[in-house]
Structure 1
Amino acid sequence: MRLKYVVEDTDRHGTVRLYYRRHGQKVRLRGPLGSPEFLTDYRRAAEGPKAPKQRSSSPGSVVPRSVKWLCVQYYKSSMFRELDPRTQKVRRSILERFCENKGDGDKPFALLLPRHIRARRDALADRPEAANSMVKALRQLYRFGVTYDLADANPAKDVEFLRSNPEGFHSWTIEEIETYEKKHPVGTTARLALALALYTGQRRSDLVLLGKQHLRGGWLTFTQQKGKGRNPVRLEIPVVPELQRIIAATTTGDMTFLVNGYGRSYTNAGFGNRFRKWCDEAGLPHCSVHGLRKAAAARLAELGCSEFEIMAITGHQTSKEVTRYTKAASQKVRAEAALTKMGGERK
């Protein structure tokens, strides 16, 4: 039997080995020559090595011109990098969840239409804030695409927001504040957290960073964390006597007023979780730390402060949000003033 490209190689022990040799390829063949095993190996060697199976999308790969690809380009851009770290984290998380749902991230971003986004929005109808956050993130993603000539249109711009709770976070009442204070007396970190939030009107991202280094002549001087990279807001807020009394009576950290049981500063998320437990312990499951920011603004409105005076405390750049915070309180003040005038006329 004569077959092409078959060679024999005899080693020093006299053993004969069979090989298929062609174009630099050398493949060992099972013997003996002409056996079924030999013929099977010969056919395989003659067919050549099989090309590796190509996978459409391996884990971690990005399909060119897909939604996920557009996200990657967005993350590299200055439009994304100029956002503050927390906003970056939240927006990236929203976009990644969008891409992971039903493989939408591998689909061409140019084919995403408003009706597709509405369908995804309506699937979150039981969580309107989450649905609206998704639409906002997609608007910014495609705004980047249009600005950088990667996309022709912004499909998310034509998608309407769902109606959410117009009141937002629950604003603490005087009775709820008193209930919390009875459960957490002066000297505890829980009480200090309440006082800082109530007497400064700041977000939790600022509360966890406030410390002795921000105290200057009876004033708290600091820059708010939200928008710090793009539009920083620097505030100077007087420390009222009640807040000063509670700070002096509480064990604080070297760099932050609020510290956990190990003497370490809280992270933003860690403080939110801890405050949630403090509220639950006081029987206030519907209250939150952000609700104290609203309560502070409402209390200032009840005391007759103008919107600009309140903005000087909360750090808001426009009166729109302050108006929403203080709507009920402002109505109460105006009603009292109106009826006082009416009573004076009748008298």
Structure 2
Amino acid sequence: MVEFRLRDGTGTVKLKYLVEDVDRHGKVRIYLRRRGHLKVLLTATPGTPEFMAQYRAALEGKAPERAPRRKGKPAPGETAAAPGTFRALVERYYATGAFRNQLDPGTQKARRYLLDALCEKYGKNPAHLMTSTHVQKLHDDRSDTPEGANNLLKALKHLFRVAVKAGWLQTNPARDVQKFPQEGEGYHTWTLEEVAQFEAKHPIGTRARLAMALLLYTGQRRSDVVRMGPQHVKDGWLTITQAKGARHKPVTVSIPIVAPLREILDQTNTGHLAYLVTMRGKPFAVASFGNMFRDWCREAGLDHCSAHGLRKTAATRLAELGASEHEIAAITGHRTLSQVAHYTRAARQKGLAARAMERLEEHGSNKSVQPSEAGSKRLDKSSR
């Protein structure tokens, strides 16, 4: 509950669900934030009639209207990038088909965040003076977050390809900079005990249990699970085109609906076009679903678990049950077998170790191993 003084002098009003965040420029922004919904930015001055109108519209699930930005013109308060500058190169990259048509919206947003931040510092610098030394320093400065540093390096490699193609640079200065090796195994893979703990907290019939089942028994990403609905099911098979890479390398998977998932679907109230819906009956946005699932995990005492971890759990479980790399890829939709190899590799290691120790137990525990005569002599010499 946040209290604002009305600008017309009639008093104050208390408004629910409002939060204040500080953006990367140090500016305070006000959002309406409710569990299970996307955050909505309120752009009007607090306390004004315009602000109250935006607040009421946000409560109804409507985003505030913004003045349209004219193509090719800078937004109010911005200045056009000078030719040949780093900012001009970034804007040129944003206009390419490789950026606009081949990248998913989420990837576009992440790239813009990284490159726009660089423009704040280096936007006026000449792009043709950029060297591999500069790129290396930008990469090293983010060594405390290796994944973020590698994402920046990847963005710069694509950015400078545009510069080389346009004749601004002779070579790509990011080409020979090596990314940081990945530490750890990424998202935590759920154990069977953790799955049982989640299920004990969230019984069949709840949205949380339905979300768990869709993630675990399909092996799909959260961006696909939020879109799954009755229209994707035919003759007991669920067929869906994965959101990741759908623009340029679409992957469609068909998965049989196993009995545990069918039981949960039959006993849960679901949406008409999407099984998973918010409290207001609308399909989840990907980000809000991820936050909601995190909340469900915390309620079960599993703060370290996430939705993506269940995708890894599904693949790992298939590998432990003897599924081949081709079979796992047919479920998860991975494009190359190398992406699923570590699941089967770990499972094979476990199976080989079990059989090896069985042999040791069968043949080693009942027989005493006698040292050879040569071995006995060496032992005698070393004793002397």
Give me the TM-score of the superposition, normalised by structure 1: 0.78
Alignment-mate amino acid for residue 98 of structure 1: L
| 1:63 alignment partner, one of 70, 82, 86 | 82
Query: Per-residue CA shift, 1:163-187, capped at 9, x if unaligned?
Result: 3323111100111111111111111
**Structure 2 equivalent of residue 92 of structure 1:** 112
- The total of aligned residue pairs comes to 288
Query: Per-residue CA shift, 1:137-176, capped at 9, x if unaligned?
Result: 1011112322343432111112121233231111001111
Query: Per-residue CA shift, 1:26-61, capped at 9, x if unaligned?
Result: xxxxxxxxxxxxxxxxxxxxxxxxxxxxxxxx7232
Larger Rg: 1
Q: Which moved more, 1:161-170 or 1:224-233?
A: 161-170
State the Cα distance separating 1:246 from its structure 2 match. 0.7
Tell me the secondary structure at the aligned position of residue 205 of structure 2. Answer: coil
Q: Which runs of 5+ in 2 are unaligned?
A: 1-76, 367-384
**Structure 2 equivalent of residue 245 of structure 1:** 263
Residues 1:294 and 2:328 aligned together: no
Alignment-mate amino acid for residue 165 of structure 1: E
**Mapping of 1:36-75 within 5 angstroms?**
59-75=78-94
**Mapping of 1:202-281 within 5 angstroms?**
202-281=220-299
**Contact 1:304–1:333 under 8 Å retained in 2:** no
State the Cα distance separating 1:125 from its structure 2 match. 1.8
| 1:319 alignment partner, one of 334, 337, 356 | 337
Alignment-mate amino acid for residue 64 of structure 1: P
| 1:335 alignment partner, one of 350, 353, 356 | 353
Measure the CA separation in 1 of the matches of 2:270 and 2:307: 19
User: Using a 3 Å threshold, how does the CA distance of structure 1 residues 304 and 341 change in structure 2: closer, same or farther?
Assistant: farther
Tell me the secondary structure at the aligned position of residue 254 of structure 2. Answer: strand
Whichever structure has more helix as a proportion of its residues is 1
Q: Which moved more, 1:266-275 or 1:336-345?
A: 336-345
Query: Per-residue CA shift, 1:56-80, capped at 9, x if unaligned?
Result: xx72321211121111111111111
**Structure 2 equivalent of residue 188 of structure 1:** 206
Tell me the secondary structure at the aligned position of residue 270 of structure 1. Answer: helix
**Structure 1 equivalent of residue 128 of structure 2:** 110
Q: CA RMSD in A?
A: 1.9
**Contact 2:128–2:168 under 8 Å retained in 1:** no
User: Using a 3 Å threshold, how does the CA distance of structure 1 residues 338 and 308 change in structure 2: closer, same or farther?
Assistant: farther
Q: Which moved more, 1:223-232 or 1:111-120?
A: 111-120
Tell me the secondary structure at the aligned position of residue 354 of structure 2. Answer: helix
Alignment-mate amino acid for residue 87 of structure 1: T
**Contact 1:117–1:159 under 8 Å retained in 2:** yes
| 2:158 alignment partner, one of 140, 148, 156 | 140
**Contact 2:238–2:256 under 8 Å retained in 1:** yes
Tell me the secondary structure at the aligned position of residue 157 of structure 1. Answer: coil
**Structure 2 equivalent of residue 49 of structure 1:** none
Query: Per-residue CA shift, 1:302-337, capped at 9, x if unaligned?
Result: 000111110000000112221234443332123234
**Structure 1 equivalent of residue 382 of structure 2:** none
Tell me the secondary structure at the aligned position of residue 174 of structure 2. Answer: helix
Measure the CA separation in 2 of the matches of 1:140 and 1:324: 28
Alignment-mate amino acid for residue 269 of structure 2: T
Tell me the secondary structure at the aligned position of residue 250 of structure 1. Answer: coil
**Structure 1 equivalent of residue 148 of structure 2:** 130
**Structure 1 equivalent of residue 174 of structure 2:** 156
State the Cα distance separating 1:199 from its structure 2 match. 0.6
**Contact 1:279–1:288 under 8 Å retained in 2:** yes
| 1:199 alignment partner, one of 217, 221, 227 | 217
**Contact 2:319–2:343 under 8 Å retained in 1:** no
**Contact 1:83–1:229 under 8 Å retained in 2:** yes
**Contact 2:324–2:344 under 8 Å retained in 1:** no
**Structure 2 equivalent of residue 41 of structure 1:** none
User: Using a 3 Å threshold, how does the CA distance of structure 1 residues 151 and 342 change in structure 2: closer, same or farther?
Assistant: same
